[in-house]
Amino acid sequence: MSTSGGLKRDKAAFVDLSGWIEALRKAGELQAIDAEVDWDVELGTIIRMAQGKGDGPALLFNNIKDYNRNDTICRQLFTGGQGSYSRLAMMFGLPRETPPRELVKICRTIFQERVAPRVVKTGPVKQNVLKGDDIDLLKFPVPKWNRGDGGRYVLTYAGCVTKDPETDVHNVGIYRGEVAGRDRIPVLMWRAQHWGGHFAKWQAQGKDMPVAYVIGWEPSMGFTGGAPVPRGVSEYDVMGAIRGEPVDLVKCETVDLYVPANAEIVIEGYISGDPASFTPEGPYAEFTGYYAVERTRKPTTRVTCITYRDNPIFRGTVEGALPGSYSENPIMSSVQRSATAWNALESAGVPGITDVWGPPIHAGVNLFVRMNQTYRGQAKQAAMALWGNSAAHVRYKHVWVVDDDIDIHDYAAVDWAFAWRVNAGEGDVLIYPANFGAGLDPSTRRRDRDPLRFGTGKWARVLIDATINLDYEPDPDLDGKRYPPTVAPTEADQAAVRARWAEFGFKK
């Protein structure tokens, strides 16, 4: 398969969720939990305590309270499949020890590749079909993930499939949705999102928007669905690029949409634009690490059909990162959002970019850019290129730009540059006010977070220019340089000491 940065990728198609789980089991990346676990808060608490800082295992719950009887149609729940960089490497067909900076480089390439899907007649997801009075979302082990959630959330890691009514191009996103009855799912929708744009077009035609929620498939779906794939590009094409082969799709039963044939569960339905059909949703523990506390009426899915394979596995995740506990989204976002930002900078013509990184603790909301600075204003050019990109909708709130001698994967190095290369009085801090941004950010006034009124949130974005200021005059006492040398020993002095390291009693 394709190469990037000297790394060769193996084929990364796992057929279905069970194939992915088995690959994780063989790699020692899976923890199966056979003790009975309550779907009401206990399951989510276990996940938060086990996931660590990207070093916890994927989890397979085999014994869920109320879903362990002989007549249960879905007995298992899987989570954490993309909660570590080693598992992201496996998803890409790379060695598990591949470092994050290399995953970003691989992701840059893959996001620009396309492998179109292929349509097949049927697949395992069609083995069972529920319609009419047989529909009941709680036939599946939908957890109440967090104590403060407004209810049981069936959509936390589902691939939410919609299409543009003008072009028929399918979009697959990751959005949240709560169970509000046996056949109702209110969802959080922003007009600035791709499915929000689709929704507006269906409304303009006076029609309800068809939707399909895919719960459980290969890891490329969750990774791509949560990534800022450009408008007009189907995520199915990018999933094919990750897998190294096309995605097999089948047509839904009651909506004109296509879904992976080997999926575990698919929920079909329609979303009306009529406010009278909206139902309350929230609160929910969000990606910010805080609760989105509002419980408001939101667009609601009217479920028309559920299809599922025999003995399906429910797929979901907890949201939000806290110090010491990172969920799947932050780990994935640190790679996705960094790769997308790097490509955006390159396409905008910003030269000299040598690395880009958005740490997982905040899921890439803060972004570090490392550059070889050659002219005045280059850091500001980088920030403006990022903020003008559609991928900035819920990311890149604060952009830090540093010189090429700073390792942006070492926060101490970035902090050092911030301390000694930033002078706010010399224009090194730039605020870009009243810009679009994440409607879930608790630092934004509540009135500005209303998705129905404004379509998105409102951010004041900040650039921190921690590069050496080229406006400073070269100093004749410093051999014409603008900054004094650092206190680091010369390479020759370090090499001489390293040669005697063991003699000094240190371990190599």
| Residue range 190-199, pLDDT digits in tens | 887 889 999 9
pLDDT class of 6 with cuts at 50, 70, 90: low
Domain count, the chain: 2
Residue 3 pLDDT > 70: no
Residue with tokens 């796992």: 14
Whether residues 264 and 238 fall in one domain: yes
Q: Is residue 483 part of a domain?
A: no
Tell me: pLDDT of 209 over 70.
yes
Statement: residue 181 has pLDDT above 90: yes
- Whether 322 is covered by a domain: the verdict is no
Whole-number average pLDDT of the chain: 94
> Looking at the structure, do residues 256 and 342 belong to the same domain, yes or no?
no
pLDDT digit string (tens) for 419-451? 999 999 999 999 999 888 887 888 888 888 776
Q: What is the pLDDT of residue 230?
A: 86
204, 198 Cβ separation under 8 angstroms:
no
User: Residue 42: inside a domain, yes or no?
Assistant: yes
pLDDT in tens, 448-494: 877 677 777 888 899 999 999 988 888 887 788 888 888 899 999 99
In a domain, 505, yes or no: no
Taking Cα atoms as reference points, which of 397, 474, 496 lies closest to residue 440? Answer: 397
Q: Model confidence at 143, in pLDDT bands (50, 70, 90)?
A: very high
Q: Are 329 and 287 in contact (CB under 8 A)?
A: yes
Question: Is 112 within 8 Å of 295 (Cβ atoms)?
Answer: no
User: Does one domain contain both 260 and 384?
Assistant: no
Output b/e per residue, 218-256; b: 16+ Cβ within 10 A.
bbbbbbbbbbbbeeeebbbbbbbbbbbbbbebbbbbbbe
Tell me, yes or no, whether 342 and 213 share the same domain.
Answer: no
Local structure of 294: helix, strand or coil: coil
Per-residue model confidence (pLDDT) at position 392: 85
Q: Rounded CA gap, 141 and 69, in Å?
A: 12
Residue with tokens 């929000």, as numbered in its chain? 196
Query: Are residues 234 and 354 part of one domain?
Result: no
- Which residues on adjacent β-strands are paired with residue 266? 214, 307
Amino acid identity, residue 493?
A: D
Q: Which CATH number characterizes residue 144's domain? A: 2.30.110.10
pLDDT at 83: 97
Q: Which of the listed residues 289, 315, 341 is the one where a domain comes to its end?
A: 315
Residue 5 clears pLDDT 70, i.e. is over it = no
Q: 481: helix, coil or strand?
A: strand
pLDDT at 1 over 80: no
Max CA separation in the chain (angstroms): 84
**Which has the closest alpha carbon to 304: 270, 343, 339, 257?**
270
* Residues 313-338, mean pLDDT to the nearest whole number: 95
Query: So what's the pLDDT on residue 363?
Result: 86
331 has a pLDDT exceeding 80? yes
pLDDT at residue 442, rounded to an integer: 84
Token pair recorded at residue 380? 């500001």
The pLDDT of residue 448: 80
Q: Of 293, 315, 337, which closes a domain?
A: 315
- The verdict on 76 and 191 lying in the same domain is yes
Q: What is the pLDDT of residues 283-315, one digit of tens each?
A: 999 999 999 998 999 999 999 999 999 999 999
Tell me the mean pLDDT in the region 224-231: 90
Q: Is residue 438 part of a domain?
A: yes
Instruction: Indicate the residue among 315, 340, 374 that finishes a domain.
Output: 315
Domain that holds residue 416: 328-466
Q: Is residue 321 part of a domain?
A: no
Query: What does the block give as tokens for 503?
Result: 């003699």
The answer on 354 and 282 residing in a single domain is no
117 — pLDDT class (breaks 50, 70, 90):
very high
Mean pLDDT for 156-169 is 97
Q: pLDDT category, 105, cuts 50, 70, 90?
A: very high
Residue 181 has a CB neighbour count (10 Å cut-off) of: 15
What is the CATH number for 455? 3.40.1670.10
Residues 358 and 253 in one domain: no
356 shares a domain with 233: no
pLDDT, residue 52, reads 93
| 123 shares its domain with 166 | yes
Average pLDDT over residues 261-273: 98
Q: Are 255 and 369 members of one domain?
A: no
d(CA 233, CA 250): 19
Residue 4 has pLDDT above 70, yes or no: no
Q: How far apart (Å, rounded) are the C-alpha atoms in residues 10 and 243?
A: 9
Q: Are residues 346 and 303 in the same domain?
A: no
Stretch (H or E) spanning 286: none
Q: Is the pLDDT of residue 354 over 80?
A: yes
Q: Is position 60 within any domain?
A: yes
Report yes or no on 108 lying in a domain. yes
Cis peptide bond upstream of 246, omega within 30? no
